[in-house]
Amino acid sequence: MGVIYESKERYHEAKRYYLHVRIAACDAALKMYKQSIEQYIQALKESQMIGDSILVGKIQAHLGITYFEAHQYDKAVEQFIDVATLLDVISRPFLYEIYLIIGETLLK
């Protein structure tokens, strides 16, 4: 999404998006799941505002993984179902990539 904003010369939005996703990833790596979830939710809202379905799916997958790691299994399943439903309609090959990410996470 940051790339989309950059291509439209909307640099402030690009920075905000990059910040949310990168901070979320770092927080998750540090096992600061509450903060990570908050950042992913903010990035999700922004991606929904611009209507980028594939990006929404990617963020939902990462959000689901973070919920899973935080032992919030019901919320993780909700995100995984939402992303599967969304991507099954728009991009079946990408859906397989998401399933692979989810499977690798579950095997950890």
CATH at residue 37: 1.25.40.10
Angle, to 10 degrees, between the axis of helix 33-50 and the axis of helix 53-69?
A: 170
For residue 1, the model assigns a pLDDT of 58
Helix (H) or strand (E) holding 24: helix 11-29
Q: Tally the domains of the chain.
A: 1
pLDDT of residue 24: 92
Which residue type, as a one-letter code, is found at position 87?
A: L
Mean pLDDT of 6-35: 82
**Structure tokens that stand for 78 in this block:** 């909700």
Q: How confident is the model at residue 107 (pLDDT cuts 50, 70, 90)?
A: confident
30 — pLDDT class (breaks 50, 70, 90): very high
Per the structure, the complete domain to which residue 95 belongs is given by 2-107
pLDDT tens digits, residue range 37-55? 999 999 999 888 877 777 7
What are the CB-based long-range contacts (under 8 Å, 24+) for 69-72?
69/28, 69/31, 69/33, 69/105, 70/33, 70/34, 70/37
Share of the chain above pLDDT 90, in %: 33
pLDDT at 5: 67
Cα separation, 55 vs 68, whole angstroms: 20
Which residues, 6+ apart, have CB-to-CB distance to 61 below 8 Å?
Answer: 79, 80, 83, 98, 101, 102
Alpha helices in 30-52 (DSSP H): 33-50
